[in-house]
Amino acid sequence: MSKLYIMCVDDEPEVLEAVERDLAFFEDVFPLEATSSASEARSVLERIEARGDELAVIFCDHVMPGETGVELLEWMETTEAFGNTKKALLTGQAGLDATIQAVNNANLDFYIQKPWTKENLLSTARDLLTQYVLESGKNPLPYMSMLNAEAVTKAMHESGLVSDE
Amino acid sequence: MKAKNLLGACLGLSAFLLATFNSLPGLSLAGSIALGIFLLAAIFWILEPIPIYATSMLVILLQVMLLSSQGFVFSVRSAPTVTVKETTGEFDYLVPSSVISSEGLVYQKNADNAIIPLVIERLNIANAEWVTIRSEELDVALPLIADANHRAITGQAYSYSKFYATLASPIIMLFLGGFALAASAVKFGLDKNLTRVLLKPFGSKPSSVCLGLMVCTGALSAFMSNTATTAMMMTVALPIVGSLSPKDPFRKGVALAIPVAANIGGIATPIGTPPNAVALAALRDSGISLSFSSWMIMATPFAAILLLISWRLILSLFKPQTDRFEIAIQGKFQTSPKAIIAYLVFAGTILMWLTEAMHGISTSMVAFIPVALLPAFGVLDKKDIRGFSWEVLWLVAGGISLGLSMKDTGLASWLIGQISWQSFGGVGVVIAFALVGYVLSNLISNTVTATIITPLAITVGATLSVSGDFNLVSGIVAITVIVSCSMVLAISTPPNAIAMSCGIIETKDLARTGLLVGGIGIALAIVMHLIYWPLLM
């Protein structure tokens, strides 16, 4: 079974550590990759793709040295392997233009304003992971302990996965 | 995977051809064809080269084409015909002697290819080949069947519509009613809210919360599908599991309690799980119709006792290490008009099912109340109706249809005639069928297992019950509940598969618990078959 990853990208080590700590809750089921720049993120993405694994959700800062977060998300949107990845900006400084660009070109799924709260980040991550798993058409059960259980049950009913045979 | 499918398909088809084209001693032509269809279906159901519901549909197609009185084999179109040679008097005709059957009947065929049997009077035997007959009903314009012993007449095949009719049989309608109720309950969150309320009195002690979870799961799965109940209850159980320390063995206990209770709960009512439908249909075909409440009086105590034993078993296998834990299920009962109607129809239908003795409206007739009323009030829309498990209805209908042919072509009697059942005694027969059913249903679908063994069990039972050695209803109920006790492997039942794929329990946990619960279930069923169920029937 292919693994589903969560990735966070931020150039400030303290922020990255804090996000990592908050999202550690999912680690049993969804392994976490923390990277400090867009270029590092790209090389990790290459590894994930090469192994046949998938990236379910990315939390990405916008203003970083080198390539910006929105540029990274735009590029991901055009690739086959990461087009369906749920994309969230976790940032304090993305201006209106960059945000519009992210929504229009990178199909941005969520925007979290810094500073974030742990509850908010967890529930956003849970919802995005749930969406990704259900949209990917995978059997949601192995991931169910970490997902929005009601959404999963509803989807199972709708897809007829619940009959006794 | 591919090779296995190919193997299954080849095996099934060759068994079908072998049985159909080899006439076996003691088996009629129709019986041979039925044997071919039975073997094909059994092999397809076990090896699954195609989905099991597709096999059921294939069974009905083969029966319609090969076993019906309009099909390729038994159609009167295939019978040679002659016309009256000479009209010798007002109602007297000279005909070949081969048109007269051993019962003294002559058969004509009308323009619609229907056979018209005529009672005749044989006037004289002119010679061996020609006779004069007298009949007031004979129509000279219509052809006579030249050979009165042709299979179109002696085969006594059904009209194809009888095979199709199994899809609208009372038992299927009963299940349709169950689907409608369950769909409305899920749509308005009744299942989850009932769980929330029912769990409250169980407090926060691990052992009693576990009992609470099992009771809720069992009660819901008695009215909804075991699988849907498990999916819903896992969403309640997983947060509990998550709150326990990763080293606490009770994590596994909670995750196991749900599928075990769901499998057991399905036994409690006729609509709980499809094998019950197969048993009810087979009994009905033998002229015994069991009401909703009589099934419950027989099966609910069994399910309740087995549930309690399983609870203690799970507690002792997976000892909790915490003293208490919290369950927080959010939500409140919906109070929209549609939700209220859903509750009322749900309660009303179940009440009518339980009180059949008072009003005399049968279980299957009551079942259509929710089917008609829920869409009428807009409680269920067409999306909900599309969401019913229609493939399960096809699966059961194919089984009922196959059972029909097995019984009436003499196949079932022929098959069981290969073993001398008298020497088993009444209990021996139940144990033999129960063990075969238990092993089979651990490996393949419970419904399919019931479909394969019930027609045979009921034929043996009918033979033995003539000599007073066998209580047919009790025996069939025992075999059916034992089929539902199979839960050793993840593939044994869909609830097991759901629980396993959540990643908390391992194969060996399931195997250990499943074997113990199954073993106790078999023993309990045999005991009830000996001392409790015969008192009721």
Alpha-carbon distance of A73 to A160, in angstroms, equals: 35
Output the furthest CA–CA distance in chain B (Å, rounded).
Answer: 101
Q: If DSSP codes are grouped into helix, strand and coil, which group holds residue A34? A: strand
Report the C-alpha gap between B460 and B425 in whole angstroms: 11
CA A121 – CA A23 distance, rounded (Å):
8
**How many interchain CB pairs under 8 A, A with B?**
73
CA distance A115 to chain B (A): 28
Count the neighbouring beta carbons within 10 Å of the beta carbon of residue B394. 21
Measured distance CA(A31)–CA(A15) in Å, rounded: 19
Q: Do B502 and A142 touch (CB under 8 A)?
A: yes
What pLDDT shows up at residue B127? 62
Q: Are residues B389 and A164, on separate chains, in Cβ contact within 8 Å? A: yes
* B233 Cα to chain A: minimum distance (Å): 10
- The H or E element containing residue A33 is strand A32-35
Are B257 and B281 found together in one domain? yes
In a domain, B136, yes or no: yes
Cα(A116)–Cα(A95) distance, rounded to whole angstroms? 18
Tokens of B236: 């309640």
Best residue in B53, B196, B217, B232 for a mutation probing chain A (most A CBs within 10 Å): B232
Best of B50, B329, B501 to disrupt the A interface (most A CBs within 10 Å) is B501
User: Domain count of chain B?
Assistant: 3
Does residue B413 lie in a domain region? no
Q: Which pLDDT score is estimated for B98?
A: 85
Q: How far is CA B454 from the centre of its chain?
A: 8
Residues of A in contact with B231 (CB under 8 A): 153, 156-157, 161-162
| The predicted structure's pLDDT at residue B50 | 94
Domain ranges, ordered by start, for chain A? 4-118
Q: Which of B97, B119, B150 is the last residue of a domain?
A: B150
Distance from CA of A123 to the nearest CA of B (A): 15
Last residue of a domain, one of B150, B181, B209: B150
| CB atoms B238 and A152 under 8 Å | no
**In chain A, positions 103-162, which contact chain B (CB-CB < 8 Å)?**
139, 141-142, 144-145, 149-150, 152-153, 156-158, 160-162
Contact, B263 vs B493, CB < 8 A?
yes
Which of B225, B228, B502 is facing A141, going by the closest CB pair?
B502
Establish if A24 touches chain B: CB-CB under 8 angstroms. no
Name residue, tokens 């939500």. B331
Out of B333, B365, B386, pick the residue that ends a domain: B386
What are the Cα distances from residue B428, in Å, to B423, B451, B453, B526?
8, 21, 15, 10
E strands, B112-256, where?
115-119, 121-125, 130-134, 144-145
Q: Which domain holds residue B368?
A: 167-386
d(CA B35, CA A148): 50
ipTM, 2 dp = 0.70
Q: What is the DSSP letter of B100?
A: B
- Searching chain A, which residue's CA lies closest to the CA of residue B441? A165
- Give contacts of A142 with chain B, Cβ < 8 Å: 501-503
What confidence score (pLDDT) does residue A82 get? 94
Answer yes or no: is B366 within a domain. yes
Angle of CA points B384, B390, B396, to nearest 5°: 145
pLDDT score, position B203: 87
Q: Do residues B42 and B86 share a domain?
A: no
In sequence order, the 6+-apart residues with CB closer than 8 A to the CB of B278 are B396, B399, B400, B403, B447, B450, B451, B454, B480
pLDDT tens-place string over residues B189-219 = 899 899 999 998 998 899 999 999 999 999 9
Selection from B25, B95, B42, B23 nearest residue B443 by Cα: B42
Q: Residue B107 gets which letter from DSSP? A: E
10-residue stretch averages of pLDDT, chain B, 537 residues long? 88 94 88 95 93 95 93 85 83 85 84 82 71 84 85 82 94 95 92 90 91 96 93 86 86 94 97 95 91 95 98 95 80 92 96 94 95 96 90 94 92 89 86 95 94 93 82 94 95 90 88 96 95 86
- Mean pLDDT of the region A66-78: 93
What was the pLDDT predicted at B1? 61
Nearest of B315, B350, B314, B320 to residue B513 by alpha carbon: B314
In angstroms, the Cα distances linking A76 to A33, A40, A67, A85, A121 are: 16, 14, 13, 8, 22
Give the 3-state secondary structure of B242-266. HHCCCCCCHHHHHHHHHHHHHHHHC
Residues B363/B294, Cβ–Cβ less than 8 Å:
no
Mark which residues 29-48 of A lie under 8 Å from B by CB: 29
Q: Kindly report the nearest CA distance between residue B20 and chain A, in angstroms.
A: 29
Query: Rounded distance, CA A153 to CA B192, Å?
Result: 11
Q: Are residues B98 and B215 in the same domain?
A: no
Residues of B in contact with A152 (CB under 8 A): 235
Touching check for B397 and chain A: CB below 8 Å? no
Backbone angles phi, psi at A23, to 5 degrees: -90, 0
- B266 Cβ under 8 Å from any chain A Cβ: yes
CB contacts of B498 in chain A (<8 Å) are 141
Q: Looking at the DSSP assignment, which residues form a beta bridge with residue B116?
A: B108
In a domain, B239, yes or no: yes
Q: Establish if B159 belongs to a structural domain.
A: no
Which residue is listed with tokens 């009303």? B348
- C-alpha closest to that of B75 among B145, B165, B28, B167: B145
> Does B69 lie in the same domain as B95?
no
Q: Which of B483, B435, B484, B429 is closest to B457 using CA atoms?
A: B429
Distances (CA, A) of B253 to A145, B214, B259: 16, 11, 11
> DSSP label at A58?
E
Could you give the dihedral angle defined by the CA atoms of residues A16, A22, A27 and A28, in that order, rounded to the nearest 10 degrees? 170
Structural domain includes residue B494: no
Specify whether domain A4-118 bears CATH 3.40.50.2300: yes
Cα–Cα–Cα angle for B439, B445, B446, rounded to 5 degrees? 70
Across the interface, of B241, B242, B392, the residue whose CB is closest to A163 is B392
Which pairing describes strands B130-134 and B121-125: parallel, antiparallel, or unpaired?
antiparallel
B498:A141 CB<8 A: yes
B315 and B174, same domain (yes or no): yes
Q: Which residues contact B386 (CB under 8 A, 6 or more apart)?
A: none
Whether B115 and B189 share a structural domain: no
Q: Which of B239, B234, B231, B240 is nearest to B209 (CA)?
A: B240
- pLDDT, residue A67, reads 92
Peptide bond into A115 cis (omega under 30): yes
Which residues are CB-contacts of A3 (< 8 A; sequence separation ≥ 6)?
A31, A51, A53, A54
Q: Token pair for residue B203?
A: 């407090």
DSSP summary character for residue B143? P
Question: What digits encode the pLDDT tens for the residues B54-79?
Answer: 999 999 999 999 999 888 888 888 88
Residues of chain B neighbouring A153 (CB-CB closer than 8 A): 231-232, 235
One domain, residues B89 and B26: no
Question: What whole-number distance in Å separates Cα of residue A47 and Cα of residue A90?
Answer: 23
Rounded to an integer, the average pLDDT of A152-163 is 76
- Pair (B231, B308) in one structural domain: yes
Instruction: Return the bridge partners of B134, or none.
Output: B92, B121
Q: Pick A164's closest partner by Cβ from B186, B273, B387.
A: B273
Taking the CA of residue A120 and the nearest CA in chain B, the distance in Å comes to: 19
Please give the C-alpha separations between residue B256 and each of A145, B7, B213, B215, B247, in angstroms, as whole numbers: 15, 35, 11, 14, 16
